[in-house]
Amino acid sequence: MDVYLTTTIPYVNARPHLGFALELVQADVLARHFRRSGDVRFQAGTDDNSLNSVLAAEAAGVGPQEFVDGLAEEFAGLSGPLSLSIDDFIRTSRDPRHRAGVERLWRACAESGDLYRRHYEGLYCVGCEQFYGEAELVDGRCPDHRTVPQRVSEENWFFRLSRYADRLHDLISSGELRIEPTERRNEVLSFIAGGLEDFSVSRSVERARGWGIPVPGDPGQVVYVWWDALGNYVTALGYGHDGEDYRRWWGGDARRVHLVGKGVVRFHAVYWPAMLLSAGLPLPDEVLVHGYLTVGGRKISKSGGTVVDPVDLVREFGVDAVRWWLLREVPRSGDADFTADRLVARADDELANGLGNLVQRVVSMVHRYRGGVVPDGGARELDAVCREAPAAVDAALAGFDFRRATGAVWRVVDEANRYVNRVRPWDLAKEGDPRLDAVLAGLVAACRTAGELLEPFLPDAAARVRRQCAGQPLPPPEPLFPRLR
């Protein structure tokens, strides 16, 4: 089945951090996994049209377009260091597909009678680009940025979100719109049950500093950044001109999957589906929600001063170690606290000492005892775990559980290492025991299985494992992973 898989598009008011790298790596794993059974379009991008970007550009003493152009290149450039398989990358300020699509979406909602102008006054967090009610603040501050929101008073365009409360509740509670994990689904249902208020979808040109997409037919207003940004999931497909990509990946039978952080669930599971219902467009099938990365218990964020640069991490520790920590340490639900020591410990223990040591000594024994030629046969003790592992990985990823999925891969490695220590092939070789052929064949098969299963998670490492275990004779043994400390 075709799968259209998207990440959120981050503000480009500062350089990318490890929190966004988590989302990209998770999405890449899913994309590579889904490609094993069908075609996939994996899309990412940048949200350029935000007031955050304008303010950051002013602080830097440059124009907003120049400012976002430079930073957007850094976000797009994560593909190389993180070994990502992104198919399309949209920039909301530059891509001609985007403005045409946003304008068409606006007009479709207007034709449904869901857009109207009214005066509004509220508390606005610039960092979130979001209005908050008094009850949502913590000690009068934004719960994420810990800043005091601005009180804003102006006339804007509003979207009739309240009209769609019952329909959204039915879609989500029935599972037609799937939200994972369950606690995020319940959170959204609770939010809907509390009553949905219409929300502002434009800003005055003055407050937006002239940056953004003008409201169709009302040049004194620009489209609110969240409306603009959410539209990217269809605008990048050519929705503005009813393009072929749109018809295939959104208007057709493809599975539509959004991967998002927990801080933007409301926008993707409530606002966005309501906009689509208003416009008469299909909804996403799934919204998969991940938690935050923290440093010392504080959320990694550009505004919070807890930035960890993923490119610097890859430069110091390698892409395998970075991807492995993100996939092995971050729970399906909840946050994970990052330290370089934890990353190093996980990589040394499992990659270098676990998988790397296993493959190197198995290949070495095949060369030492059989001239590099893998014998026929197999080890029954390893057959079962190798047969069961693919289904276990599939089930874990179907449940959006990367920790459990990598654990299923690691069970093969652990079982093979235990088998080596228990059977002691070197003793069988000394004794001329005929069982050695089956033992070596079974161990090579386990290494090959681990290499195949590892591909979505660590594509670079998986390729090295497969090369080391391929052919007759096998290549000479080589170290697969460096010890980091």
Task: Please give the pLDDT value at position 435.
Answer: 95
> Is a pLDDT exceeding 60 seen at residue 303?
no
> Is a pLDDT exceeding 60 seen at residue 304?
no
> Is a pLDDT exceeding 90 seen at residue 148?
no
Task: Please give the pLDDT value at position 315.
Answer: 97
Task: Please give the pLDDT value at position 244.
Answer: 96
Which of 13-17, 104-108, 109-113 has the weakest average pLDDT? 13-17
Task: Please give the pLDDT value at position 14.
Answer: 86
Mean pLDDT of all residues in 252-271 = 97
> Is a pLDDT exceeding 90 seen at residue 484?
yes
**pLDDT per position as a tens digit, 327-365:** 999 999 889 999 999 999 999 999 999 999 999 999 999
Q: Write phi, then psi, for 164 (nearest 5 degrees).
A: -110, 10
Q: Is 346 in contact with 320 (CB distance < 8 Å)?
A: no
> Is a pLDDT exceeding 90 seen at residue 233?
yes
Q: Is 92 in contact with 100 (CB distance < 8 Å)?
A: no
User: Higher confidence at residue 122 or residue 79?
Assistant: 79
> Is a pLDDT exceeding 60 seen at residue 4?
yes
Residue 311 β-bridge partners: none
* Domain architecture of the chain: domains with CATH: 3-290 (3.40.50.620), 340-469 (1.10.730.10)
Mean pLDDT of all residues in 384-392 = 96
Residue with the two structure tokens 């929600």 = 289
> Is a pLDDT exceeding 90 seen at residue 167?
yes
Which of 121-125, 203-207, 254-258, 379-383 has the weakest average pLDDT? 121-125
Task: Please give the pLDDT value at position 145.
Answer: 61
Confidence of residue 127 (pLDDT cuts 50, 70, 90): low
Mean pLDDT of all residues in 315-337 = 96
Type of residue found at 129: E
Mean pLDDT of the chain: 94
- Peptide bond connecting 181 to the previous residue in cis, omega within 30 degrees of 0: yes
Mean pLDDT of all residues in 206-222 = 93
> Is a pLDDT exceeding 80 seen at residue 1?
yes
Task: Please give the pLDDT value at position 302.
Answer: 60
Task: Please give the pLDDT value at position 48.
Answer: 92
Task: Please give the pLDDT value at position 133.
Answer: 76
Residue 462: CB partners within 8 Å, gap ≥ 6?
451, 452, 454, 455
